[in-house]
Amino acid sequence: MTTHDTLPILAALERKVLWLASWMIHNANHLRDSDDGLKVGGHQASSASLATIMTALYFDVLRPADRVAVKPHASPIFHAIQYLLGKQTRERMQAFRGYKGAQSYPSRTKDTDDVDFSTGSVGLGVAQTLFSSLTQDYVRAHGWGKDRPEGRMVALVGDAELDEGNIFEALLEGWKQGLRNCWWIIDYNRQSLDAVVREGLWERYEQLFKNFGWNVVIVKYGSLQQAAFREPGGDKLRAWIDTCPNPLYSALVFAGGSAWRKRLNDEIGDQGDVSRLIEKRSDAELAALMNNLGGHDLPALLEAFHNATSDKPTCFICYTVKGFGLPMAGHKDNHAGLMTPAQMDTYRAAQNVREGHEWDRFEGLPVAEGELQAFLDRVPFTTGGERRLDAPRIAVPETLAVTIQPEMSTQTGFGNILNEIGRGDGEFAQRIVTTSPDVTVSTNLGPWVNRRGLFAREKMADTFRNERIPSTFNWEFSPDGQHIELGIAEANLFIVLSALGLSHTINGVRLLPVGTLYDPFIARGLDQLNYACYQDARFMVAGTPSGITLAGEGGAHQSIAEPLIGMAQDGIAAFEPAYVDELAVIMAFAFAYMQKSGGEQSERNWLRDETGGSVYLRLSTRPIAQPQRAMTDDLKRDIVDGAYWLRKPGPNAQIVVAYTGAIAPEAIEAVGLMAEDRRDVGLLAVTSADRLNAGWTAAQRARERGLVHARSHIERLLDDVPPGCALVTVLDGHPATLAWLGAVNGHRARSLGVEHFGQTGSLADLYRHYGIDANSIVAAAQAIAPGRPIRHLKALP
């Protein structure tokens, strides 16, 4: 708890934090003449706005178990604080925004100074704290991680950041889930990037947060203002401040003391006491008083934070000035504002920082160095040891059991595999946590949920069951349930996966998160998926059902681009198996892959097999005939690496059909139809275009760097294909997914797939319409590998 003695130290540190952040930005100014100038500038004013709040938090309020998402543009303040705490190097500070330097936006994966949650795409870090709090509750409710104290999940939120819809989706979900231990601290500087925000937003926020069960603490007036309000005439001043429009207040902050005086005298100067209150202050004192909003006042902030002792989620609305303490303070254009060298010089001199001593940690501060260092050594936040945790890997069975029916879909297979896992009670089954945005039952998670129950901190019975009304699903909530049921918000799904998927490093307890959603709605949560991957969260997500195979559902539910998302998204390995035995192999691999972490990703293996990652399964509801075959180790490896020959092409092959996913029967049929008229036709089953492609790219790069023997899986497979042979590729998704196969060994290729929004119809109608049925495959083969007419080719409509 703060004492009076520590206030001067905190005040000195606040000055130093702001100085170091500004100096760091100034150093990155070599970029100022480039397009990057605006972006560098974005840090300056935006950082200054949070300098006081972050000083109060990091040097006094926070405890080691607390976790923070810092507003993206406050990155320099964060790095400056870590620098003072001895956790950031001067080299990285100097290289801010440069190669291997401190990151422009706090990054868990790229920064080295203990970033809890990455930020950058505004709104996401905010939601991440909410779901991390839920994750903490989940972990503790299951009896894990209790050797550590509970942490608060804290977001430092820009006021304009609250325009992002995902924050509201999260708020609603948080209310449903009984959110606790979450602080959102709003930097209410009333400025966004472009301009000044709307009047009176704080009132909307206040109502909104209260509606969702939060405490709301408004930190509006600093201690100087509070003292002035107690003077005769103070009430008038307060009333004036309360009714002053945001843009005017900002403009006056920018204009300074004499402008304040003129304005105040014009508007309330003839009202007796208040005139004296104004007159007795110099211009500088008047400016200091008017700029002394709560968010820049250590005593006001410390009081607010230390008084928030309940575990109820709490929103602090802290009034601040964007650019506080700097010459651009308050100006509506300040987001891009950079200080000129002359301004920096003036600022340096005012801070008593000697030239050449800009990086010195205690230079020019009014408190003795020893005292400052002793204080920093005792800062509660850093006295708990290593904050970035780890957890042992959970053993994954080599084979996942599943009973394969003669005809089956991959989605049913997925449900059955989880159901089988759910029978067990070992650690593996216990650590799986499933989640879905209102499509639990329709993505076949029902049997798993029946076995493992739904999670809630408080027990909630299934009323239908209690009333003895028959129902297929047991919908009972309890603290040891293993399914988190979400409302329909795919953005929330991916942030929940991000939070659950970081539990090993945040809570020191490993979870194996599995999420499901309809494949097209990946696009709905795409930035969140990207965010989760950027933070290196580990999870499995099944996009199911997918494609136009979802025939009767029409274009709004049919995914086209998702296979390309799966390929292009870093941090996630995408698979699209056709058969359930393949899926079982892939899931066993995935549960282990999700847990790997092997330091730097090597150039030799771009498949991330050492470093691990998340996994995306694109599944289907289409039941297809399943192969009866023994699963050999070779086949397993091929499935995981991305492809295998279902039928190896002969030495004289003219055609190879390469397919992925639910379209397998059409590919097989097409091969049968052309067998009489084309020699030695091959059939390549692609289980992961993503891994296949990544391996190929890596092998090429490796060869260019001198590893002449580097060979990727697809190169080895296509060695079996004679040079004159043509490829026809096909999938229920965008044709570009497999089109690159032709470039591997220089084979002609024709790629079939879906390019336009789907529509309703029977499967046969749609496959024919989009040209991915057997006949279209044969027609493509005939066109690309001319020869005698293929007899079974029907005339195309």
Ligand X SMILES: Cc1ncc(C[n+]2csc(CCOP(=O)(O)OP(=O)(O)O)c2C)c(N)n1
Asked if 411 contacts 443 with a C-beta cutoff of 8 angstroms, the reply is yes
Instruction: State the nearest-atom distance from the C-beta of 16 to ligand X, in Å.
Output: 20
Which residue is at the shortest CB distance from ligand X? 158
Instruction: State the nearest-atom distance from the C-beta of 155 to ligand X, in Å.
Output: 11
Instruction: State the nearest-atom distance from the C-beta of 14 to ligand X, in Å.
Output: 17
Instruction: State the nearest-atom distance from the C-beta of 161 to ligand X, in Å.
Output: 4
The nearer residue to ligand X, 160 or 496, going by C-beta atoms, is 160
Instruction: State the nearest-atom distance from the C-beta of 71 to ligand X, in Å.
Output: 6
Query: What token pair was written down for 497?
Result: 């996966």
Subset of residues 242 to 271 that bind Mg ion, contact rule: CB under 5 A: none
Site membership for Mg ion, residue 191 (CB under 5 A): yes
Site membership for Mg ion, residue 189 (CB under 5 A): yes
Site membership for Mg ion, residue 314 (CB under 5 A): no
Asked if 85 contacts 374 with a C-beta cutoff of 8 angstroms, the reply is no
The nearer residue to Mg ion, 106 or 295, going by C-beta atoms, is 295
The nearer residue to ligand X, 190 or 678, going by C-beta atoms, is 190
Phi, psi of 433 (to 5 degrees): -130, 125
What are the residues whose beta carbons fall under 8 Å from the beta carbon of 99, sequence distance 6 or more?
A: none
The nearer residue to Mg ion, 156 or 580, going by C-beta atoms, is 156
The nearer residue to ligand X, 332 or 465, going by C-beta atoms, is 332
Instruction: State the nearest-atom distance from the C-beta of 129 to Mg ion, in Å.
Output: 18
Dihedral of the CA atoms 739, 743, 748, 752 (nearest 10)? 0
The crossing angle, in degrees rounded to 10, of helices 283-291 and 246-255 is 140
Residue 73 binds which one of ligand X, Mg ion, none, with CB within 5 to 8 A depending on kind?
Answer: ligand X
CA atoms within 13 A on the CB side of 352: 10
Amino acid at residue number 32: R
Residue 72 binds which one of ligand X, Mg ion, none, with CB within 5 to 8 A depending on kind?
Answer: ligand X
The nearer residue to ligand X, 39 or 711, going by C-beta atoms, is 39
Site membership for Mg ion, residue 546 (CB under 5 A): no
The nearer residue to ligand X, 75 or 688, going by C-beta atoms, is 75
What is the CA angle 222-311-215, rounded to 5? 50
Report how far Cα 66 is from the mean position of its chain's Cα atoms: 19
Query: What token pair was written down for 550?
Result: 């979802």
Sign of the CA dihedral with 65 first, then 66, 70, and 76 last: negative
Subset of residues 132 to 161 that bind Mg ion, contact rule: CB under 5 A: 158-160
Output b/e per residue, 127-139; b: 16+ Cβ within 10 A.
bbbbbbbbbbbbb
CA distance 261 to 764: 79
Residue 46 binds which one of ligand X, Mg ion, none, with CB within 5 to 8 A depending on kind?
Answer: ligand X
Residue 690 binds which one of Mg ion, ligand X, none, with CB within 5 to 8 A depending on kind?
Answer: none
Residue 111 binds which one of Mg ion, ligand X, none, with CB within 5 to 8 A depending on kind?
Answer: none
The nearer residue to ligand X, 171 or 439, going by C-beta atoms, is 171
CA distance 545 to 621: 6
DSSP per residue over 91-136, as a string? Answer: HHHHTTTSTTSS-SS--TTT-SS--SB---STTHHHHHHHHHHHHH
Asked if 338 contacts 38 with a C-beta cutoff of 8 angstroms, the reply is no
Instruction: State the nearest-atom distance from the C-beta of 308 to ligand X, in Å.
Output: 22
Subset of residues 158 to 177 that bind Mg ion, contact rule: CB under 5 A: 158-160
Residue 161 binds which one of ligand X, Mg ion, none, with CB within 5 to 8 A depending on kind?
Answer: ligand X
Write out the residues near ligand X by the rule CB under 6 A: 46, 49, 72-73, 121-122, 158-161, 187, 189, 191-193, 322, 335
Bridge-partner residues for 185, per DSSP? 156, 316
The crossing angle, in degrees rounded to 10, of helices 633-641 and 580-593 is 70
Query: What token pair was written down for 391?
Result: 């957890």
The nearer residue to ligand X, 193 or 284, going by C-beta atoms, is 193
The nearer residue to ligand X, 73 or 679, going by C-beta atoms, is 73
CA distance 365 to 166: 42
The nearer residue to ligand X, 174 or 295, going by C-beta atoms, is 295
Sign of the CA dihedral with 341 first, then 345, 350, and 351 last: positive
Instruction: State the nearest-atom distance from the C-beta of 273 to Mg ion, in Å.
Output: 34
CA distance 691 to 615: 11
Instruction: State the nearest-atom distance from the C-beta of 246 to ligand X, in Å.
Output: 12
> Left, alpha or beta for 458 (phi > 0: left; psi -120 to 50: alpha)?
beta
The nearer residue to Mg ion, 160 or 640, going by C-beta atoms, is 160
The nearer residue to ligand X, 128 or 546, going by C-beta atoms, is 128
Of 564, 788, 781, nearest to 657 by C-alpha is 781
Instruction: State the nearest-atom distance from the C-beta of 331 to ligand X, in Å.
Output: 12
Instruction: State the nearest-atom distance from the C-beta of 91 to ligand X, in Å.
Output: 27
Size of the site for Mg ion (CB under 5 A): 5
DSSP per residue over 580-624, as a string? Answer: HHHHHHHHHHHHHHTT---SSPPTT-TT-TTT--EEEEE-----E
Residue 222 binds which one of Mg ion, ligand X, none, with CB within 5 to 8 A depending on kind?
Answer: none
Instruction: State the nearest-atom distance from the C-beta of 60 to Mg ion, in Å.
Output: 24
Site membership for Mg ion, residue 44 (CB under 5 A): no
Q: How far is CA 80 from CA 76, 417, 766, in A?
A: 6, 49, 59
The nearer residue to ligand X, 37 or 479, going by C-beta atoms, is 37
Instruction: State the nearest-atom distance from the C-beta of 46 to ligand X, in Å.
Output: 3
> Of the listed pieces 110-118, 182-190, 248-256, 420-428, which binds Mg ion according to CB under 5 A?
182-190
Instruction: State the nearest-atom distance from the C-beta of 49 to ligand X, in Å.
Output: 5
> Of the listed pieces 22-30, 103-111, 183-191, 686-694, which binds Mg ion according to CB under 5 A?
183-191
Asked if 460 contacts 93 with a C-beta cutoff of 8 angstroms, the reply is no
| H-state helical runs in 149-222 | 165-176, 201-211
Which residues contact Mg ion (rule: CB under 5 A)? 158-160, 189, 191
